[in-house]
Copies of this chain bind each other. A is one copy, B any other.
Amino acid sequence: MTDRLQESSKNALSFACKRNHALCIEEALEHAKRVCERAGERFTDLRKQVFAIVWAEHKPVKAYDLLSELSSIRKGVAPATVYRALDFLKSQGLVHKLESLNAYLGCSQPETEHHGHFLICECCEEVRELAFAPFSQSIDEIEKAQKFQIKHTTIELLGRCIKCQ
């Protein structure tokens, strides 16, 4: 077993955020483009700009903040413009909505399967998407036991990160 594997095993529950946000914006845009192509969708200028703004912030972004940032690089921007782009990016899994914050976050794990499970620090507002999916099994159990067919999960854990304790 290599060091790398050992480390990854030790950190089975570690966040992907840090590593993935090392991805530069160019790589992220490249990836987003590929995702859209694969889906037969267009990665238009608007979508690209919105994606870039959300991605650039490593914190959740409010729709109206996005709107005002977007306005500085583009004209004719109204709420609908932003919400449509966000809806599209969500549909492609490139952006997540944090329901408990009414805010949007660039997906931190573009290349790997991801689950949309978040840790939100109430203090520094940093949000991390869990790389590991500790809830998957529980979710499977619930589906079987309840005969409830789960289509979307909203899992957001609010608390204090290690730096803020």
Contacts and interface: CB of A to CB of B under 8 A. Distances in A.
Contacts of A150: 119, 157-159
B158 A152 contact: yes
Interface residues of A, dominant DSSP: mixed
Contact of A146 (B15, B145, B147): B15
Interface residues of A, number: 37
Interface stretch (A40-48, A67-75, A134-142): A134-142
B134 A162 contact: no
Copies of this chain present = 2
Contacts of A11: 145
A50 interface: no
Contacts of A159: 143, 148-152
A125 interface: no
Given A146-B119, A162-B148, A138 B135 contact: yes
B161 A148 contact: yes
A152 B11 CA distance: 24
A146 to B, nearest CB: 6
A154 B13 contact: no
Closest 8 A/B residue pairs (Cβ): A13-B145, A134-B138, A99-B99, A150-B159, A154-B156, A147-B162, A152-B158, A151-B159
Interface of A: 11-15, 99-100, 119, 121-122, 130, 134-135, 138-139, 141-143, 145-162, 165
